[in-house]
Amino acid sequence: MTTATLLLSGLLLATGCGGATSATPSGATGSPDEPVSTSAPVATPAPSAPYASPSPVTPKGGVADPRPIRWTKVTPVGDTNRVQILWTSGVEPCHTLDRVDVKETDRTVEITLYEGTPQDAQNVACIEIAIEKTTTVTLKAPLGDRKVIDGA
């Protein structure tokens, strides 16, 4: 092909692909004199799930390879020698409270929670979600002014 033929083919191709354009963008309505909103749309907050109260659990023992886990909150139970421990964990039987170790002095109370999987549940599938759990621990004496320490 000659250069003139190539140029003519390119020119025809370029003009054939183009089309008339509209002065207003697609989907625009109203006249140019109407005010335009420049504020961002208001986002609707996502619905929140109802708060689930912590699941009360008691130590079960018999856990294979128990490991210390951290707790998040301790609350004295009235004027007694009991405290309530709160922590986040997985579902049973994969995350079972084995035992609670307590070491008391006149100044501190060290509380260590141990969790693991029971011997008879080694091949069980559990969903991987976090839940709050709580257990109540009885101390030798009322907590008073003693500091509570996480032993994990």
- Per the rule left: phi > 0, alpha: psi between -120 and 50, beta: everything else, 109 is beta
Average pLDDT over residues 78-90: 90
Domain contains 96: yes
How many domains is the chain partitioned into structurally? 1
Domain contains 138: yes
Average pLDDT over residues 57-64: 89
Query: What is the pLDDT, as a whole number, of residue 105?
Result: 95
Domain contains 23: no
SS (H, E, C) the chain: CCHHHHHHHHHHHHHHHCCCCCCCCCCCCCCCCCCCCCCCCCCCCCCCCCCCCCEECCCCCCEEEEEEECCCEEEECCCCCEEEEEEEECCCCCCEEEEEEEEECCCEEEEEEEEEEEHHHCCCCCCCCCEEEEEEEECCCCCCCCEEEECC
Domain contains 139: yes
In tens, the pLDDT along 110-141 reads 999 999 888 777 778 888 889 999 999 999 99
Quote the tokens at residue 8: 């003519």
Domain contains 35: no
Domain contains 42: no
Query: What is the pLDDT, as a whole number, of residue 135?
Result: 95
Domain with 94, as residue range(s), is 55-150
Query: What is the pLDDT, as a whole number, of residue 101?
Result: 96
Domain contains 67: yes
Domain contains 14: no
| Nearest Cα to Cα of residue 113 among 46, 57, 37 | 57
